[in-house]
Amino acid sequence: MNSIEFQNCFILILLCLFSLLCIFLFFFKKPKDCSELPPSPPSMPIIGHLHLLLSSLIHKSLQRISSKYGPLLHLRIFNVPIVLVSSASMAHEIFKTHDVNISSRGLTPIDESLFFGSSGFFSAPHGDYWKFMKKLVVSKLLGPQAIQQSRSLRAEELERFYFDLLDKAVKKESVEIRKEAMKFTNNSTCKMVIGRSCWEENGEAERVRVLITESIALSKKVLFATLLRKPLEKFGISLFKKEIMGISDRYDEVLERFLVEHEEKLEKQHHHHQGVDLMDVLLEAKGDEKAEYKITRDNIKSLYVELFLGGTDTSKQTIQWTMAEIINSPKTIVRLREEMDSVVGKSSLIQETDLPNLPYLQAVVKEGLRLYPPVPIFGRRLQEGCKMGGFYVSEKTTIVVNGYAVMRDPTYWEEPNEFKPERFLDSSRRLGQEEEIREQVLKYLSFGSGRRGCPGSNLAYIFLGTAIGMMIQCFDWRIKGDKVNMEETLSGMVLTMAYPLKCTPVPRISRFPMSY
Ligand code: HEM
């Protein structure tokens, strides 16, 4: 009897211990999947995965490793942790579930630089300054209403672009598309943000364009400088600081002139609100004691550097890439012309207001941006640790999104490497969107996503639609050889053509009268 009781007691104790163990495991140990980092491809001692970023086509080397090891990877550059996102479903998860958490870029600023420095908007953390500026930029420059108000400025520039091409056509000269496109995007942006074009006569316009091209070319170094800033600081090393500050100083010179010009104008006008542009509004906000946020002169200058970079180069690249694909695809040209001739006609130049009635042209632009996103990868930083794709990612991790890989993922895109604008036409697009909602995917990332997504996308679609529309409406294009070489390269972190597109315009409709 005693021994039975003893046995029962023993079993009871064992049961108690076992349940205590279970409770302990359940409450005190993190669930296994939550403590686990995303998988990591093989790395090198000390440098980690730095070699992947040193490749000349970073977006492609990252695309290769993600297709081999998975859509969410943990990488390490020295001791800087990075999580690489490369699929439409992971993109959906981070932008829909963790948007606020990843709404800072976390690039350590290069302090005094006007270009990725601490006074910038692009690299500003998600906080009061960013919110104040975003509201201002959207309401005064990039929102639908502001865009409508500046329509005539861009119409003038489109016409100038047309006459420049016509001039070359008459002389039977070839043109480098990216150069002509840059004049158009840059002059339009200048008019919108400083109220006038940069002067061609005294070399001001060319200086600005050279500065923009040089800063884009430097953007890879800037990325390294900001990414490795913290670890290298301990050794007193400041990567590429001289080059970066050299560019910043040249921007400063140009922008100081624009600012003084505006201050003098404001002075003269005694604050009469005539011809108010973004710079006037910013200067007023700077002087306003009661403003929600006190902005500085450097804040204004840095924003302008970013608007010049954002507004000019990316759009120019897409115009070049898309024209190259169009020239390689005679059936696209035929279809574009059919649409354009019936909607716009042959007696007037395409206008912004025509764009909503040109769905095929819009699909062509979207497809150009899908295949060749000018910003193929972009970064954010995780504010607080969280679960992603079933793994645990800790706070302060840099999140790198490979938009290029997402937009060429064969799981979500049929024949992903082919130029097929039809995929964006209404009937197929509607299907695509339903599928996206059902499958919880985000597969179009040319402009990023979420609250830090590109605020200039509406303006960009207008630049692209009108420029490409005009070039196809008004000219035939001759190239040397049968096909344009579509090889890719990176200029800094921007995707561009390894062999710039050169072609000769041949007028296809009679000359429009000049209106300016
Ligand atoms: C084809 C043209 C363009 C492309 C492909 C493009 C792409 C992008 C991308 C990928 C980002 C980062 C988005 C993210 O982190 O989710 C971005 C941000 C930004 N873009 Fe654009 N962009 C274009 C045109 C423009 C234009 C025309 C402007 C203004 C004039 C502009 C201004 C900006 C600004 C200010 C940011 C920073 C936004 C922030 O940090 O809150 N972009 N752009």
Q: Read off the pLDDT of residues 169-223 as tens digits, 9 standing for 90 and up.
A: 999 999 999 999 999 999 999 999 998 877 777 788 888 999 999 999 998 888 8
In this structure, which residue's CA is closest to atom 28 in ligand 1?
456
Q: What are phi and psi of 234, to 5 degrees?
A: -60, -30
Mean pLDDT of 322-342: 97
For 337, the 3-state DSSP assignment is helix
Report the SS3 class of residue 260.
helix
Banded pLDDT at 29 (limits 50, 70, 90)? very low
Confidence of residue 231 (pLDDT cuts 50, 70, 90): confident
Complete domains list, the chain, with CATH: 35-507 (1.10.630.10)
Distance of CA 461 to the CA centre of its chain: 13
| Atom of ligand 1 at shortest range from CA of 379 | 15
Quote the ligand 1 centre to 278 CA distance (angstroms). Answer: 18
Q: Is 15 exposed, middle or buried, given 0-12, 13-18 or 19+ CB atoms closer than 10 A? A: exposed
Q: Is the pLDDT of residue 453 over 90?
A: yes
Nearest CA, atom 9, ligand 1: 447
pLDDT at 33: 46
Nearest atom in ligand 1 to the alpha carbon of residue 192 is 30
Nearest CA, atom 3, ligand 1: 314
Query: Mean of the per-residue pLDDT values for the chain?
Result: 89
Give the position of tokens 């009679």.
510
Q: Which atom of ligand 1 is nearest to the CA of 449?
A: 16
Closest CA to 257 of 188, 203, 219: 203
pLDDT over 70 (residue 26): no
pLDDT over 90 at 424, yes or no: yes
- What 198-204 contacts at long range (C-beta under 8 Å, 24+ apart), as own/partner pairs, is 204/254
Rg (the chain; Cα; Å):
27
Task: Give the residue carrying structure tokens 């690039």.
Answer: 107
What pLDDT does residue 50 have? 92
For residue 18, pLDDT beyond 60: no
Task: Find the mean pLDDT for residues 278-293.
Answer: 90
Q: Provide the pairing of β-strand 502-507 with 475-478.
A: antiparallel
For ligand 1, atom 27, the nearest C-alpha belongs to 311
Residues with CB under 6 A from ligand 1: 121-122, 142, 189, 306-307, 310-311, 314-315, 318, 373-375, 378, 446-449, 452-456, 459-460
Two tokens, residue 88: 């439409």
Q: How far apart are CA 112 and CA 306, in angstroms?
A: 15
The stretch 293-311 carries a mean pLDDT of: 94
Q: What percent of the chain has a predicted confidence (pLDDT) above 90?
A: 71
Q: In whole angstroms, how far apart are CA 102 and each of 13, 24, 144, 380?
A: 49, 33, 26, 6
Q: Tokens 């296809």 belong to which residue?
A: 508
- Check residue 375 and give its pLDDT: 97
Least confident of 212-221, 264-273, 444-453: 264-273
Choice from 153, 447, 449, 451 to test ligand 1 binding pocket (greatest atom count within 8 A of CB) = 447
Cα of 161 to ligand 1 centre, how many Å? 23
Q: How far apart are the first and last CA of the chain?
A: 112
Please give the pLDDT value at position 35. Answer: 61
Residue type, 243: E
Which tens digits make up the pLDDT trace of 30-72? 444 446 899 999 999 999 999 998 888 999 999 999 999 999 9
Instruction: Give the C-alpha separation, 76 to 99, whole Å.
Output: 23
454 is in an annotated binding site: yes
Strands 80-85 and 398-402: parallel
Torsion angle of the four alpha carbons 150, 155, 158, 162, in this order, in degrees rounded to the nearest 10: -170
Rounded to the nearest angstrom, the distance between the alpha carbon of 448 and the centre of ligand 1 is 8
